[in-house]
Amino acid sequence: MLSKVIDMIDGEKWLSLGTDVKGDIYEGLLAKNAEDVKSGAGQYFTPRALIKAMVECIRPEPMKTIADPACGTGGFFLAAYDY
């Protein structure tokens, strides 16, 4: 079973996947891990619609510095990049 999973992972072209796909996979893995821990691992994921609305309010510009001190899955960075 494990060898089949490894073959699936190794067979994927990770560099050709879009940032949203990678972000979704990463967030899904973290959420699953949080569910498996009784305390929820103290993690909270900001909904993507809220992230998008906040980024639209900030209106980031190319070559300007942005910060996300509670980076987690990098949702704000990805939304700023998409903006």
Q: What pLDDT, in 10s, does the model give residues 2-55? A: 676 666 667 766 666 666 676 777 777 766 766 655 555 555 677 788 888 999
One-letter amino acid identity for 27? Answer: E
For residue 83, the tally of other CB atoms under 10 A from its CB is 13
Is the Cβ–Cβ distance between 75 and 28 less than 8 Å? no
Strands (E), 1-83: none
In angstroms, rounded to a whole number, what is the distance separating the alpha carbons of residues 23 and 17?
A: 10
Residue 38 is predicted with a pLDDT of 56
Residue 60 is predicted with a pLDDT of 92
pTM comes to 0.52
Residue 44 is predicted with a pLDDT of 67
Is the Cβ–Cβ distance between 29 and 41 less than 8 Å? no
pLDDT in tens, 59-71: 999 898 888 877 7
